[in-house]
A and B are shown apart, each in its own frame.
Chain A
Amino acid sequence: MLFRLAPGDPVARMVDPMWTPEEVEYVMSQLGLDQPIWTQYLFYLKNFFSGNFGVSFHYGEPVHEIIWKRLPNTILLFTTSTILAALAGVFFGKIAAWRKGSKSDTWMTISALVCHTLFVPWFALMLVWILGYKVGWFPLNGIISPEIWVDESSGFLVKALDVLHHMLLPLMTLFVVQMGSYLLLMRSSMLGTLKEDYIVTARAKGLSEKVIRNHHAARNAALPVITSIGLSLAFSINGGALTETVFTWPGIGKELVFAVSNNDYPLAQACFLLIAAVVLTANLIVDVLYAYLDPRIRY
């Protein structure tokens, strides 16, 4: 709805200057743009609840079809990187806290800070430049190599490996960006846990240091990291949109940036609503999960 206030006339984008005024008017009425604004809004509400987000001005296809095509790519990239980053963050954060004050702790903390404050697009460009262009290990952008997919003889495995090959650089970018904050959080949470009485009890029972670290301290310390996955989702989505744009990874984030640059309001709106819905649902899931994992919490 807000999108209709925007400058930049979408019709001007579609209309061929050679068309007659009658033809222009016909297209306008087909798109419903000649109706008063409140009628457009009622239509919008009706369509919104029936899952119809309209037709993209740029692609000329229904928006929900475009979204369905892009969504798996984003989910693939995003969940893989988030899971890997959270696991690595918990693992290294645990070690950093366990060796608090040592050299390895200092280095791990500083590198985590560097990862956390890194400028994402620049880091992505550097990876493309060094690993993609100079060394040539990875493709520069995109998600598939057309020649492999056009070739009838290439099997599923070859195609999957091709996607993986394209995915490694964006994955690396998102992984590095996300891991820093998980590491810092796990470290501070673990430092708090190590002061608890039950750690002293575990020591007094004569348990080995490894058991204390992994089973008594780390398990409790990892809980806040799980909540933070929900809270830091906003931060990761920003990074994700930038990463997708730089690598032209055909996902929701790239599509949103593209739609905004091209005054493609229906597409931009749908992408944004989807992201907002995902963020809110994810936070809800995390809250529920937290209560399930930590029996001390009761709502």
Chain B
Amino acid sequence: MDTPSERIYLFNRLAKGWAVFRENLMGKIGLTLMIIFALMALASFFTPFLNPMYDPMTGVDPEISHATGPSLRHWLGTDFIGRDIFTQLLEGAKIAFMVGLSAAFISIVLGTIVGMFSGYMGGVVDTLLMRLADMIMVMPSLLILLLLSALFGQLNIWLIVLLIALLRWPGVSRVIRAQTLTLKQRPFIEAAKVAGASHLRVIFRHIMPNVLPLSFLYMTFRVTSAILVEAALAFLGFGDPSQVSWGMMLQWVWKTGHMFQAPYWLLPPGICISLLTLSFYMLGRAMDEVLDPRLRKEEHSD
């Protein structure tokens, strides 16, 4: 990747990809939505400095101790103990990005490695890894997380991220395995082997660069499912109690019995979750078409 001509080639490819991407309606919608949410997440770092009552978790308006509707002071109103809903919403965007991106990243790293080994090695390794993948794939991840949180008490947010990742790699590894199987037949792999490259070197130096675009494509779909699972877990009351996430906000509306009285509180978190997951999903589908139109498969699986 270091010679200038390769760099120009890469640049051209990116430019071409961007041109295809810009033509894509879904890609445009997805990217716009995502930028808005990213700005929200950034803003959440500054609100507590404006006034301590704008802290999403501990900030309580000294004059308000119950749920109130939108006002100038609180753009989206306050929750049942007088915390500002708008700042909670900003904080929720931060948590959603954190959970979504990190869980998706860990799961694609795992999935890619397993998929490459499985496809490259074949035989018993392949069978064992893929049967394991099948087993994890058909299990409802939310319910497994529920059980684990029952076993270990309240789960920390990073533990939730890790568990989501551990339950979500099989989809990626299947795709990567299929791709590795076709790559394995190509002459350059044969050449590398003849030149004396070890298995590990072939896998990481020759196969990995060719499957990485596919991995990153699947990362966008994983972000969607990770955000949804975390939100659902928080909604059921098994989230990290020290973090304000959108699922947690919905749980507060639901459990404190405000859902019929406080639409200003019920609507925003749900709309945010649905739109953010939608934006990642649309971005993924748009990238799908940019990378390879023939790859439209498996995206339904979760």
Contacts and interface: CB of A to CB of B under 8 A. Distances in A.
A117 B278 contact: yes
B228 interface: yes
A184 interface: yes
A3 interface: yes
- Enumerate the 5 nearest inter-chain pairs by beta-carbon distance, A residue then B residue, closest first: A122-B270, A238-B142, A117-B277, A119-B273, A260-B150
Interface string B144-168: 0011011111000000000000000
B62 interface: no
B235 interface: yes
Interface stretch (A37-45, A70-78, A106-114): A106-114
B134 to A, nearest CB: 8
B269 interface: yes
Nearest to A182: B300
Contact of B146 (A121, A232, A260): A260
Given A232-B301, A261-B237, A241 B143 contact: yes
Interface string B228-254: 110110011110000000000010011
A245 interface: yes
Contacts of B237: 261
Interface stretch (B120-128, B193-201, B259-267): B259-267
A110 B29 CA distance: 11
Contacts of A120: 232
A231 B134 CA distance: 9
Interface stretch (A125-133, A144-152, A214-222): A125-133
Contacts of A238: 140-143, 229, 232
B25 interface: yes
A242 interface: yes
Contacts of B263: 129
Contacts of B149: 260
B85 interface: no
A168 interface: no
Interface of chain B, helix or strand or loop or mixed? helix
Interface string A158-186: 00000000000000000000000110110
Contact of A121 (B140, B232, B302): B232
B138 interface: yes
Contacts of B277: 117, 119
A226 interface: no
Contact of B274 (A119, A256, A261): A119
Most buried by B among A120, A234, A257, A268: A234
Contacts of B137: 231, 234
Nearest to B29: A110
Contact of B147 (A110, A185, A272, A283): A272
A6 B140 contact: no
A268 B296 contact: no
A232 B150 contact: no
Given A184-B300, A231-B138, A272-B147, A117 B224 contact: yes
A8 B151 CA distance: 9
B26 interface: yes
What's the interface size class on A, roughly?
Answer: 35 or more
Contacts of A241: 140, 142-143
Given A119-B274, A261-B237, 15 more contacts: A7-B152, A117-B278, A122-B250, A122-B270, A185-B300, A191-B296, A234-B302, A235-B301, A241-B142, A260-B146, A260-B238, A261-B150, A268-B150, A275-B140, A283-B138
A102 B281 CA distance: 21
15 contacts: A3-B151, A113-B282, A116-B281, A119-B232, A122-B250, A231-B137, A231-B301, A234-B137, A238-B229, A241-B140, A242-B236, A257-B146, A260-B147, A261-B237, A279-B138
A228 interface: yes
A17 B266 CA distance: 40
A188 interface: yes
A245 B236 contact: yes
A232 B138 CA distance: 8
Given A114-B274, A234-B139, A125 B302 contact: no
B270 A123 contact: yes
Interface string A1-38: 01101111000000000000000000000000000000
Interface in A208-261: 228, 230-235, 237-238, 241-242, 245-246, 253, 256-257, 260-261
B142 A126 contact: no
A245 B137 CA distance: 24
A256 to B, nearest CB: 6
A276 interface: yes
A238 B147 CA distance: 13
A12 to B, nearest CB: 15
A25 B270 CA distance: 49
A238 B141 CA distance: 7
Given A228-B301, A231-B301, A121 B138 contact: no
B297 interface: yes
